[in-house]
Chains A and B, each alone.
Chain A
Amino acid sequence: MEKTLFKFIWRYSKRDQIILLILTVISFPFLYLSLDLPKTIINKAIGGKDVPEEIFGITIDQIDYLLILSGAFLALVFVNGGFKFYVNVFRGQLGERMLRRLRYSLLARVLRFPLPQFKKVSQGEVIQMVNSEVEPLGGFVGDSIALPAFQGGTLLTILIFMFIQDWMLGLAAIALYPIQGYIIPKLQWHVNQLGKKRVRNVRVLAEKIGEAVSGIEEVHANDGARRILARFTERLGVIYDIRYEIFRRKFFIKFLNNFIAQITPFFFYSIGGYLVIKGDLTFGALVAILAAYKDLSAPWKELLTYYQRLADSCIKYDQVIEQFDPQGIWPENYQMAEIEADFNLAGNVSAGNLSILDEESQPIVEKLSFDISKSEHIALTGPSSSGKDLATILMARLLAPDSGQILIAGKQIADLPEAATGRYMGYIGPNAFVFNATLKENILLGVMHRPISTGGELNEDLKNAQLSGNSLDDLGAEWLDYNAMGVDSDEGLQKRLIELLQVVDLDGDVYSMGLRSALNGSDDDQLLEQILTARKKFRERLDKSDVSNFVESFEKEVFNSNASVAENLLFGTPKGDSFSAENIGTHAYVLEILERVGLKDEFIRIGRDVASTMVELFADLPSDHEYFSQYSFISSENLPEFQTLLARSERLGLENMSTEDRNQFLSLPFKIIPARHRLDLITDDIQKRILAARKLFAEEIGDELRDEIEFFEAGYYNRSSSIQDNILFGKIALDKANAIDEVDHLITEIIDQENLRPVIINAGLDSQAGLAGSRLSQGQRQKLSIARALLRRPDHLILNEATSSLDSGSQAIVMSNLLSEMKGRNITWALQRASLAENFDRVLVLSGGQVVEDGSFQDLVKKEDSVINDLLREE
C-alpha cells in the first residue's frame, strides 16, 4: 500500500490529474478576459473613448460597439461556466473512482490479514474505517492537484490583473497574506491533532457498539444494560468534547480569515480613491479592481479550506493505512493465483517440527510432527490446550507456523495458493459460519471459487471496475464448479445435495423447513399439480381413518372453529400488509363489509367482552410476564388504556361512547380462535353473519385490493401458504388430543407415497438461513458447513470439533456417515471427547503441543498408564 496519500494519488491517477491540470490552464486566458472586458466596456464603450470605427471591415458606432462587447462578455460567461461544469464532473468522477479503489484495496487487504490480526482489530473498527473514514478522501483526491492549481491560478490571474492596473493596489490586496500565512497553519496544527484524536475515539465507539450488539445476550442476562449505557455516555462525552473543541478552533480560524479579508477594502477605498481623484487611475479601473477583489476572496478562501482538508485527509489516510498493513499479511497471489488443471492434493501429509508462539512469544505448539497417509482416518485428541485444534488449523493452512513445515502430496502447503488449499481440502471449525442467504446458496459456496465461464468482452460495469482496480470477476457468470462436485447437470446437483443432507443428518430438518415454506416463486405447474393431488389423497386417507375430525377442512359455506375470526372472514392468505393480523381490524374495506352485514356493533360488543376478560385475567400480572406475549390479546402496554375504556363503557354504556373509543374494541374479535379460546362469544348467529361477510368480502373486493389476498379455493394451489397448509387445506383440530402428531404422521405418509420428499427438501433448501445463520441452531450450522466442504469431494477433510454442538445421537450418525463417505480419503478430526476416537484408523494424542501417543484406539487403551485412558476416565 502506498505510504502517503499523494503517492497513492499520483500512482493511480497521474493521467487524469494531468488532464485536469491542462483543462485548468486552458481556462485561465478566458478567465482573464472576463475580468478585463468590463473595464473596456465601461471606459471605452460607455465612456465613449477610443471607439474603433470598424471591426473586421464593418463600420460600427458606439452603441454597436457596446452591444458587441456585451455579447462577448456573455459568451465568456458561457465559456467559463462550461469549463467549470466539465471540470467539476471530471473531478467528481475521478474522486469516486479513487475512493472505490481505496475501499477495494482496503477490503482486499482485510481478506489477506493473518488470522491472529482479527484478535487485534474488531469488526466495528474495520467497518468504521472502510465505510466512513475514507469517504472524505474521495472528494479530496479529485481536488488534490487541480483545485490548488485552479484556485491558485485564479488568484494569480486576478492578482496579475490588479498589478497591471496598479501595482500599489495589487500590493494592498495581498498585504495581509503573509500574516495569514503565518498564523493559520499554527492554529490549524492544533485542529489536526484534535482530528486525529477524534478518529481514534470514534473507532473505539464503533468497536464498543459492535461489542454490545454481539454480546447482547450477556448484557441482558447479567443486567448489564446500565453499565453499557454509562460506557457509551463516557465515550460520547469524550467525542463531544473533542468535536466541540475542533468546532471552536475552526470557527476562530474562519473568523480571523474573514476579519482580515474585510480589512483590505479599506486600502482600496483610501488609496484607490486618492489615485482616482488625483487622476492617476481611471474610475473604470477602480470599479474593475473592486469587482476583481470581490472575486479574489473566493479562491483565497478555497485555498485556505483546501489547506485544512489537505491536512485532514493526510491524517486520515495515514491512520487508516497503518491499520491495514499488519505484519505477516498474506501475499496477493494466495487468493489470485490459479492452479493447473490436473492439480490435486491426494497424497500423504507430513508435518515436521511445527511451532507456534503466542503473543508473549511462548510456544503453544512446539516441534509438532506427524505423518498421515492419504486414505487414513485420524482422530486427534488431548486435553483442551493440547494444540489439537491448532494442528488442524495449521494443516488447513489457515495459520502459518512460526517454524516448521507441512507437506501434502509432496507439496509445501505454505507456498500453495488458496485455489489449492481451499478446493482440495475441506476444513470445518467449531464456529461454523453460515451466511445470510438460502441454505442452498450456503452449501454451494463450497464450490464457488471463481467464475467458470470467463473470456469475452468485459461488460460496462466491469470496465468501470477495471478503471478503479476492482475485481474483474463477473458475479453474474456461472461460478459452480460441476467438475469438483462430480455431477454434470442440475438434476445431478439436486440429487447430490439431498445425499449430502442425509450424510450430515440434516435432511429431516430441511424437510420440515420445506413443509413450512411457500412455493411462491415456483412456476413448475406440474409440481403444484402434484401437491394438489397430495391434498386430495390426504383428505381421502383422513376420511378413511378414525381420526377424520383431526383436520377441519376449509369449506366456503362453513365456519371453521379452529381458525381465527380474521381467517374465517378473509377465507384466504394475506399477501401484503393490508389484511395482516395487525391491520385487519382497522382496514376501511373490512369495516365497510362488517357494517353491511350488521356485524360492526356486534364486534364492538364482543371486543368489549374480550377486553374485559383480558383485563380480568392479566391485570395482576407483572408487565413483563411471558403470558402477555403467549396468551393475551392485549399487550401489557395497552392494558391500562383498555382498563380506562372499560370503565368508560361501564359508566356511559357502550352505545354512548365516542366512535373513536368504540373502534378501539373493534380489532379484538378478529384474534379469537373459538376452539382454542373457548370464550363462547362467537355464537352460531355471529358465525352465520361472518360467513355472509366472507361472501361479500370476496365478491366486492376491488382490483387494487385483489393483490393483497389469495383466497382459499379447493382446486387451486395457494402460493402464499406453505406447502403443509396446501396439503392440509384446513386447520388441525385444537381440541383433539395428539392431533398434531397424528396429522404430521399422515402428511409424511402421503408425501412419501407421492414421492414428494425431494421436492420438499428442495423447497427447504431455498429457505433463508437468516443473519449469520440465526434461523438455524448451532448444530444445524455445523452440519451445513460440513455439507459445504463435502460438496467438492476434498482429498482431505479436516474437522476441528466440528460436531461439538450436535446431540450425541446425531453426532454418532454424522460421524459414521462421514467415515464411510470419505472412505479411501483422509479425515483428520480433532475431537472434543476422546471416546469418540474409537472408530478411527489411528489416534494421535496431543499434550502440550506435541504428539505423546500414536496408535490404534484399541492398542492405546490397553496400556494402563496411557494419556488416552486418563482422558477417557475424565469424561
Chain B
Amino acid sequence: MSLNKEVEVLRDVPLFSKIDHTKLKLLAFTSENLIHQDGQFLFREGETGDAAYIVLKGKVAVFIRTEKGPVEVAQLKRGDVVGEISILCDVPRTASVKAVESVQTLKVTKDTFIHLLTEFPEIAIEIMRVLASRLNKTNIQLREALTD
C-alpha cells in the first residue's frame, strides 16, 4: 500500500479527523507498514508494549485471558487503533490481538505516538474521549454482569 493510500485510511480514523494531510503523511512515513498473516498475533497480553497499531486492511480480534481460557471481546477493522493503552501508561499489554485474516497495519512506535500527542493536543483530547467512552461501556457491562 502506498503512502498516499495509507493517508486516505488515516483520514477516516476519528482520532485523526482534525489533523491536516501533511501531518498524517508524516505519521505514515515515520511508521512501518506491516502485513500480518492470518492467525498471527500482533501482540500478546502481558508483554511490554512499544507500539500501537492502526488497522489499514483486514480484521483483527481482541482476546482477554479468563479462567475459562481466552475470550474474544471485540473485532476491529480498517481505521481502528489497537495497543495504544500500554504505550500511553507503560503497563503490559492488557489484551492479545490476533489477525483473523491477512491484515495490514501501520505500526506507530511509542516515540512517534508521543511526538504526535505533544504536537497535537487535539489528538490527546480525542483519545481521552475514546478511552472515557470505553470505560463507560465497561462500567455498563460490569453492572449488567453483577445484576445477572
Q: How far is the CA of A457 from the CA of B8 in the complex (A)?
A: 81
18 additional A-B residue pairs with CB within 8 Å, beyond A680-B3, A737-B35, A737-B42: A617-B25, A617-B26, A627-B26, A627-B30, A630-B30, A631-B29, A631-B30, A676-B32, A678-B6, A678-B33, A679-B2, A680-B2, A736-B34, A736-B35, A737-B34, A737-B40, A737-B105, A737-B107
Query: Given contacts A617-B26, A631-B29, A631-B30, is CB(A735)–CB(B3) below 8 Å?
Result: no
In the complex formed, the residue of A with least CB distance to B42 is A737
Per-position contact with A for B19-34: 1 when CB-CB < 8 Å, else 0?
0001001101110111
Q: Is the CB of A735 within 8 A of B29?
A: no
How near does chain A come to B111, taking the closest CB pair, in angstroms? Answer: 8
Q: Which of A546, A676, A678, A737 has the largest number of chain B CB atoms within 10 A?
A: A737
Q: Is the CB of A735 within 8 A of B35?
A: yes
How near does chain A come to B129, taking the closest CB pair, in angstroms? Answer: 26
A524 CB-CB contact with B under 8 Å:
no
Pull 11 A–B residue pairs with CB atoms less than 8 Å apart, ordered by A. Answer: A618-B26, A620-B22, A627-B26, A631-B29, A678-B3, A678-B33, A680-B4, A734-B32, A735-B33, A735-B35, A737-B40
B110 CB-CB contact with A under 8 Å:
no
Q: How far is the CA of A736 from the CA of B105 in the complex (A)?
A: 10
B1 CB-CB contact with A under 8 Å:
yes
B2 contacts across to A, CB distance below 8 A: 678-680
A214 contacts across to B, CB distance below 8 A: none
Give the number of chain B interface residues (Cβ < 8 Å). 21
Q: Is the CB of A678 within 8 A of B34?
A: no
Q: Which of A618, A627, A678, A680 has the largest number of chain B CB atoms within 10 A?
A: A678
A808 contacts across to B, CB distance below 8 A: none
B78 CB-CB contact with A under 8 Å:
no
How near does chain B come to A672, taking the closest CB pair, in angstroms? Answer: 12
Q: How far is the CA of A493 from the CA of B57 in the complex (A)?
A: 56
B11 CB-CB contact with A under 8 Å:
no
Binding site for A on B (CB under 8 A): 1-4, 6, 22, 25-26, 28-30, 32-37, 40, 42, 105, 107
How near does chain B come to A99, taking the closest CB pair, in angstroms? Answer: 55
In the complex formed, the residue of A with least CB distance to B29 is A617
In the complex formed, the residue of A with least CB distance to B103 is A737
Give the number of chain A interface residues (Cβ < 8 Å). 19
A680 contacts across to B, CB distance below 8 A: 2-4
Q: How far is the CA of A617 from the CA of B1 in the complex (A)?
A: 19
Q: How far is the CA of A735 from the CA of B104 in the complex (A)?
A: 9
A360 CB-CB contact with B under 8 Å:
no
Per-position contact with B for A705-749: 1 when CB-CB < 8 Å, else 0?
000000000000000000000000000001111100000000000
**Which single member of B22, B40, B107 contacts A616 (CB below 8 Å)?**
B22
In the complex formed, the residue of A with least CB distance to B2 is A680
Per-position contact with B for A620-644: 1 when CB-CB < 8 Å, else 0?
1000000100110000000000000
B-facing residues in A831-856 (Cβ within 8 Å): none
Q: Is the CB of A738 within 8 A of B32?
A: no
A735 contacts across to B, CB distance below 8 A: 32-35
**Which single member of B3, B22, B42 contacts A679 (CB below 8 Å)?**
B3
Q: How far is the CA of A736 from the CA of B103 in the complex (A)?
A: 10
**Which single member of B1, B26, B36, B107 contacts A678 (CB below 8 Å)?**
B1
B-facing residues in A382-418 (Cβ within 8 Å): none
How near does chain B come to A519, taking the closest CB pair, in angstroms? Answer: 31
Q: How far is the CA of A546 from the CA of B105 in the complex (A)?
A: 20
Per-position contact with B for A677-716: 1 when CB-CB < 8 Å, else 0?
1111000000000000000000000000000000000000
How near does chain B come to A633, taking the closest CB pair, in angstroms? Answer: 11
B4 contacts across to A, CB distance below 8 A: 680
B42 contacts across to A, CB distance below 8 A: 737
How near does chain A come to B122, taking the closest CB pair, in angstroms? Answer: 16
In the complex formed, the residue of B with least CB distance to A739 is B34
How near does chain A come to B98, taking the closest CB pair, in angstroms? Answer: 12
Q: How far is the CA of A546 from the CA of B29 in the complex (A)?
A: 29
Q: Is the CB of B22 within 8 A of A617?
A: yes
How near does chain B come to A687, taking the closest CB pair, in angstroms? Answer: 15
A676 contacts across to B, CB distance below 8 A: 32
Q: Is the CB of A616 within 8 A of B25?
A: yes
How near does chain B come to A613, taking the closest CB pair, in angstroms? Answer: 8
Q: How far is the CA of A862 from the CA of B45 in the complex (A)?
A: 42
Q: How far is the CA of A221 from the CA of B40 in the complex (A)?
A: 43
Per-position contact with B for A589-617: 1 when CB-CB < 8 Å, else 0?
00000000000000000000000010011
B25 contacts across to A, CB distance below 8 A: 613, 616-617
